[in-house]
Amino acid sequence: MLRVLSDLKPIRRVSQIRQYSPEPVPDDVVHQLLELARWTGSAKNGQPWRFIVVRDKDRLRKLGALRPPINWLASAPLGIAIVLDGAEPMFGAYDEGRLTERLLTGATLLGYGGGTAWFGGPAQDAEAKRILGIPDDLTARQIVMIGRPKSREDPRPTGPMRGRKPLSELVSYERWGASKQK
């Protein structure tokens, strides 16, 4: 029991990082993360994704300006934008979530940090696609930022709480709402 806990500890708390040091992310780290992403499981192994590695500051600043809740993104040295073929939207959304979690977890395990920035909806997605040169028929709604964390604090004046609900509020046994038999 204890051994499992210590094995899981490095990935139990993968915080959303919104403040980064300017230190560049080396190409081999980016490559390792892209490899990790590539091996994500997907519905029917469809692998509906493509990735755009973005380091250009001006481009990152433009993406960060799409809406205030993601204006922190330009502090990161690098982002990986996720592009989906959109053929199966429900599967695509699920696959994208799995993929994102891998990038965030992988970055954390390599001593970096990550944060997802959602462009914000159809109008912002279209503008992000223009900034990144993504064809109209593809889906793009987020960029996953990677870098060395400068702070784990949320710099925004109003952000969500950082904790998590306790298991006692989340889990039932055998039937909805039933507690564990002693």
What are the backbone dihedrals phi and psi of residue 140, each rounded to the nearest 5 degrees, phi first? -145, 125
Point out which span in 27-35, 86-94, 115-123, 173-181 binds ligand FMN (CB under 6 A): 115-123
Name the DSSP class of 43: G
Q: Is 141 in the site for ligand FMN (CB under 6 A)?
A: no
Q: Is 46 in the site for ligand FMN (CB under 6 A)?
A: no
Q: How far apart are CA 176 and CA 28, in angstroms?
A: 47
At closest approach, how far in Å is the CB of 15 from ligand FMN? Answer: 4
Q: Is 117 in the site for ligand FMN (CB under 6 A)?
A: yes
Of the candidates 116, 139, 145, 147, which one interacts with ligand FMN according to CB under 6 A? 116
Q: Is 124 in the site for ligand FMN (CB under 6 A)?
A: no
Residue 72 contacts residue 159 (beta carbons within 8 Å): no
State the Cα torsion 171-173-174-180 to the nearest 10°: -170
At closest approach, how far in Å is the CB of 118 from ligand FMN? Answer: 4
Residue 49 contacts residue 82 (beta carbons within 8 Å): yes
Q: Is 70 in the site for ligand FMN (CB under 6 A)?
A: yes
CA 63 to chain centre: 15
Residues that bind ligand FMN (CB under 6 A): 15-16, 18, 69-70, 116-118, 160, 162
